[in-house]
Amino acid sequence: MLENHKLERLNALAAKKKSENISSEELEELKGLREAYLKNFRSSFRKQVENTKVIDPEGKDVTPKKLKRIQQNKNNKN
């Protein structure tokens, strides 16, 4: 998870960029923070999807086969 102070800095730099010019150093810092944020977001989202089970209204498991394979491979590694 991205630390709170880094998220606050990301938001501050993004707001500053919208309202005024920012230095090249700040722009590089903003890019790095965005990359860290996106990496964290993608990882969290992937974990959430990999732990999802899809059930239809009749109560049958209709989880896509590809997702079931990923889940089985993950369980076999543990």
Helices (H), the chain: 4-19, 24-50, 65-77
Residues of the domain holding 73: 4-77
Instruction: Write the pLDDT tens digit of every residue in 11-32.
Output: 999 999 999 999 999 999 999 9
Task: At 15, list the tokens.
Answer: 């707001």
pTM beyond 0.85: the answer is: no
pLDDT value at position 30?
A: 97
The pLDDT-based confidence of 76 (bands split at 50, 70, 90) is confident
Q: Of 48, 36, 40, 33, which is closest to residue 1 (Cα–Cα)?
A: 40
User: Domain tally for the chain?
Assistant: 1
